[in-house]
Amino acid sequence: MKLWFKTEAVVRPFKLTGGFALLLIALLTWVSMLLTTIDKAKNSVCKQHCGYILGKINVFNPINWIFVQCAKVFPVDYVFFTLLVLLFFSSSVVGIAVAGIRFLWVRIFQIRKGHTSPQALLIATAMLTLMTLALNYSISMIVAPQYATFGPQTFCDRTPRLPGEQPDCADDKNLIKPCSELADNPAAKAVCTPSVLSTFLNRVTVNFPFFGVIFFWAQFVFLGKAYSFRMITFSHRAARY
């Protein structure tokens, strides 16, 4: 135990630095999700009738921009994306362990080291499974929608001189634009290829807009809960110190 305490004392500065880094990443992710939800609510093509599908990014999203830029250097974007998914999943596990299993404000089971009941473990496993399904939508459609749909793909927004000819933007770099669902240029439809995951989620949202509306407004609930939980945690730690 003495050796363990000494080791903790040595690595405490690194833990503090890592904690601040995770805090900044969490705040940046929270801001990115808020900007995307506002963009969907304001600039969606058909609002609640198609589940608030966003055909084009209109509001700057910092996490999305970082992923798109990192995608130009393989495999930096894969590493960052994996770390972001692990951050979300680890935060979900920690949240269940701290808050326990509740129905509204009533605590049903508590997660404790060596004293967790089998029923609590079973429900926690089911909750983590549902959280994984929710992460598929949140990360792909809210956190980094452009990266998850088209990645770094671009197209030349210029009318071709001959039918079937690829337009050339070698002299006009400003005409090179990121791919989007609302691009009118035929060259975009010939070059831009959406990901399988985004296509699947968009088709489900369009065919069943009720679920799309629930998923969309649930993001505001998640952001509000994350903000309130973070404020409560900070207040408890400040009172402790």
104-113 per-position pLDDT tens digit: 778 888 888 7
pLDDT at 163: 66
| pLDDT tops 70 at residue 131 | yes
Quick one: pLDDT band at residue 236, thresholds 50, 70, 90? low
Which amino acid is it at 90? S
User: Before 75, cis peptide (omega within 30)?
Assistant: yes
Q: Is residue 138 part of a domain?
A: yes
Q: What is the pLDDT of residue 93?
A: 86
Is 3 inside any structural domain? no
**Helix spans in 44-157 (H):** 62-70, 76-99, 118-137, 145-149
* 182 domain residue, yes or no: no
Average of per-residue pLDDT across 173-192: 76
Q: Please, what is the average pLDDT of the chain?
A: 81
Q: Which residues contact 137 (CB under 8 A, 6 or more apart)?
A: 201, 215
Q: Amino acid letter at 64?
A: N
Radius of gyration of the chain (CA): 22
Q: What is the pTM of this model?
A: 0.79
The contacts of residue 23 (CB under 8 Å, 6+ apart) are none
Amino acid at residue number 55: G
Say if 161 falls within a structural domain: no
Taken as a whole, the chain contains a residue count of 241
Residue 108's φ and ψ, nearest 5 degrees, are -90, -50
Which segment, 48-52, 65-69, 161-165, 225-229, is predicted with the most confidence on average? Answer: 65-69
| Tens-place pLDDT, residues 40-92 | 888 887 888 888 888 778 888 888 888 888 888 888 888 888 888 888 888 88
Q: Determine, yes or no, domain membership for 217.
A: yes
**Quick check: is 29 in a domain?**
yes
In the chain, the number of structural domains is 1
Which is more confidently placed, 163 or 82?
Answer: 82
Q: Which domain holds residue 60?
A: 21-151+195-224
SS3 151: coil
Residue 26 lies in a domain: yes
Q: Is residue 13 part of a domain?
A: no
Check residues 241 and 69 and name the one with the higher pLDDT. 69
